[in-house]
Amino acid sequence: MKKKGQYAPTQGYGESFIPLILIVVLGLFIAGKFGYIDLHSVPVIGSLFPAPYIKVVTVGRASPQFEYLIKSENMQVAGIAYAGSISPDAVVPGALNNFDIIVLQGSTTCDRTARKAIAERVKVGGKLVVIGDACTRVTDDPNALGWDIGIGLLGDVMPVRYGGVLMHEKTGESRVYADGKFKIIDPDHVMFNGITNFAFSGTLTNVFPNSNANVLAYIESYMGKTTSPATYGIVESQGVFSGKVVYFAFDPGTTSREMMQNMLLYIKGASG
């Protein structure tokens, strides 16, 4: 019994913080479970949380082969979530911010707003895959060709420039329809782990490396003939921005799921 003039002991500061700490821990747990924060790599507790999905979107029109591979169960198990294709006309500043990887395929024409939004996304850390001659034309100048049309656009981040043009005007053949094989230059690159199929089919685009290029593969042959001079097949950007660009002169959907999966997983964490 408390005597007159005595006071019950007050709650310590440490005890008062316990509910707050529990609330914070519970909040982190919920955020990790729903993928708002990445906790899957944290020692001991990481197994309780799923790996975050890599969100991929195509600007333009993905080929049936590309869509078939990226929608496969293996890709889903690897944590790759495909959002489908959107028209370049729908790309405005900020529209791509929620996607980890942007793929350009199937549409040669992109307006300047879309091209600028894509380039700005790469400059602040976004990841970009460009296939063939996607986005090499602009809507307001149908005679101009290339990714480097204008200032501060795709040409700033691309590791290659479009072949067969001079001063943005067409001077020769820039693309052919061909079945061929590519030859890996950097066999230790993680993109090529476990790759046994080096064949491709469909359109082959002629490009030349820029100063920020790292050439990963050449075209060994197409239409049964060895290429001479060299035709560049797979090129990545390096050392310019916090983002990353990987370029394919052919449709990677016609090669192997392993290479596509390796590439998407690699580019998500790569920079330069």
User: Structure tokens of 179?
Assistant: 């079945």
Q: Which residues contact 242 (CB under 8 A, 6 or more apart)?
A: 123, 124, 125, 271, 272
Q: Within 13 A of 225's CA, how many CA atoms are on the CB side?
A: 7
Q: What is the pLDDT of residue 264?
A: 96
Q: What is the pLDDT of residue 97?
A: 92
Q: What is the pLDDT of residue 48?
A: 54
- The pTM assigned to this predicted structure is 0.79
Does 218 have pLDDT greater than 60?
yes
Q: What is the pLDDT of residue 164?
A: 67
CB atoms within 10 A of CB 218: 18
> What fold, for 54-269?
Rossmann fold (3.40.50)
Q: What is the pLDDT of residue 245?
A: 96
Q: What is the pLDDT of residue 6?
A: 53
Query: What are the pLDDT digits (tens) for 24-34?
Result: 656 655 554 45
Domain boundaries, the chain: 15-48, 54-269
**pLDDT-above-90 percentage for the chain:** 56
More confident: 75 or 40: 75
Phi, psi dihedral angles at 81 (to 5 degrees): -110, 120
What kind and span of H or E run contains 226? strand 225-226
What kind and span of H or E run contains 122? helix 112-123
Q: Within 13 A of 173's CA, how many CA atoms are on the CB side?
A: 5
What is the DSSP track for 232-244? EEEEEE-SSSSSE
Query: What are the pLDDT digits (tens) for 95-143?
Result: 999 999 999 999 999 999 999 999 999 999 999 999 999 999 999 888 8
CB atoms within 10 A of CB 210: 19
| Average pLDDT value for the chain | 82
Whole-number Å distance between alpha carbons of 135 and 146:
8
**HEC string of 142-164?**
CCCCCCCCCCCCHHHCCCEEECC
Region 140-169: mean pLDDT is 80
Closest CA to 103 of 252, 254, 272: 252
Whole-number Å distance between alpha carbons of 213 and 238:
6
Strand partners, 246: 129, 236
